[in-house]
Homo-oligomer: A and B are copies of this chain.
Amino acid sequence: MAESGSKVVSLDEAGRMIARHKVISLAGSHSVNSPMALIRAAIRNGATGLTIIPPVTTAIATDLMIAAGCVDTFYLSYIGFETLGFAPGFRAAVEAGKLRVIEGDEPFVLLGTRAAAGGYPFIPVPAGVYDGTDLPRLNPMLKKIKDPHTGAECYAIPALHADCCILHAQECDELGNAQFWGGNNQEPDKAAAAKTVIISTERIVSLDHTRKNVDRVTLPGHKVSAVVHVPFGAHPTASPGVYGADEPHLKIYFDAVRKGETKTYLDRFVAPKTQAEYLDQVGLDNIFALQENA
């Protein structure tokens, strides 16, 4: 089973796969468990004109793609650097009129993904959820309909399908059976709502290891297209149980983009072709120190 079924590819190959797609989804929250190495590989491989369906809260993962000029359309729920401030790449792109925003929110992005994952054309929510806000006016994808059973008004949140879903796992075997150790479990629906699923992982484990830890397997591998071994692949975001977020690095990014020095950041941290070269730039001592904050 093992050999013939292996889905392991190189980071560069994964980057090319991602760059071939248009609608990209991802999981990870804020500065936790974003598939950062995959994102850097996609940028290096010329990803362009992307539509992004992010998790309900996001930070550097999507801001970097926007700042690098890869993104046309963004399904918004929340993007921000929490204590650091507003997402600089996102804010600059919108205020310059360079980014189309679908004005979504937590239920819109989450239930749109859920609908796509389940094959439902849409999910209706009671009108009282959105009436009284400006969201239906700003987001024409929220359509008012009537519940055929009761006549009550509701809004239909349409299914949000992705071409390619990118995820970072703490452990994954070569068949794509993956463990995500933290977070709020957006991964399975993100994967189910996409045609292609690509997983980077801190560690590739044996199928026996998977069987032994089956209760921790959060995503069975049958829909996974590719698995990439990338230690510290979530850096500078946290990898739950493995290392914490690199707050000084996040600030380097934040300041660079806010000052219009995105290219400096890209040249130094996105251009390196391998994860080893990237980690050299970050400094292995810095990386190892993050393991204390796992």
Once A122-B124, A124-B122 are accepted as A-B contacts, the answer to whether A149 and B158 lie under 8 Å apart by CB is yes
**Interface residue range, chain A:** 20 to 34
* CB-contact partner of A149 in B111, B122, B126, B150, under 8 A: B122
Q: Quick check: B123 and A120 within 8 Å, CB to CB?
A: yes
**Copies of the polypeptide in the assembly:** 2
Residues on B with C-beta less than 8 A from A125 are 119-120
Q: Are B149 and A141 in contact (CB under 8 A)?
A: yes
CA distance in complex: A215, B240 (Å) = 14
Within 8 Å of chain B (Cβ to Cβ): is A156?
yes
A46 interface hit (Cβ, 8 Å): no
User: Taking the complex as formed, is A96 at the interface, i.e. its CB lies under 8 A from any CB of chain B?
Assistant: no
Provide the main secondary structure of the chain A interface.
Answer: mixed
Quick check: is A242 within 8 A (CB to CB) of the other chain?
no
* CB <8 Å contact, A148 and B154: no
CA distance A150 to B121 in the complex (A): 9
Provide the bound-state CA to CA distance between A140 and B26, in Å. 39
Contact pattern, A 103-142, Cβ under 8 Å of B = 1, otherwise 0: 0000000010000001111111110000000000000010
Docked-complex contact B122 and A126, CB < 8 angstroms: no
CB distance from A109 to the nearest CB of B (A): 15
Give A233-274 as 1s and 0s: 1 = Cβ < 8 Å from B's Cβ atoms: 000000000000000000000000000000000000000000
In the complex, chain B residues whose CB is within 8 Å of the CB of A143 = 148-149
Decide if A277 is an interface residue (CB 8 Å cutoff).
no
CA distance A156 to B121 in the complex (A): 11
When the two chains form the complex, which single residue of B111, B119, B121, B154 contacts A147, counting CB atoms closer than 8 Å? B121
Query: For the complex, what is the distance from the CA of A56 to the CA of B124, rounded to whole Å?
Result: 23
Chain B residues closer than 8 Å to A121, beta-carbon distance:
124, 126, 147, 149-150, 152, 154
A145 at the interface (CB under 8 A from B): yes
Q: Let me know if A148 and B156 touch, CB within 8 A.
A: yes
A112 to B: closest C-beta gap in Å: 11
Residues of B within 8 A of A147 (CB): 121-122, 156
Q: In the complex, A120 Cα to B107 Cα: how many Å?
A: 11
Measured CA separation A148–B136 after assembly (Å): 14
Which 8 pairs of residues, A with B, have the shortest CB-CB distance? A121-B147, A143-B148, A149-B158, A145-B148, A148-B156, A121-B154, A120-B123, A121-B124
17 new A-B contacts, CB < 8 A, other than A119-B125, A122-B147, are A111-B118, A119-B126, A120-B123, A120-B125, A121-B124, A121-B147, A121-B150, A122-B124, A123-B123, A141-B149, A143-B148, A143-B149, A145-B148, A147-B156, A148-B156, A149-B156, A215-B216
6 contacts between A and B (CB under 8 A): A119-B126, A120-B124, A122-B124, A122-B149, A145-B148, A147-B156
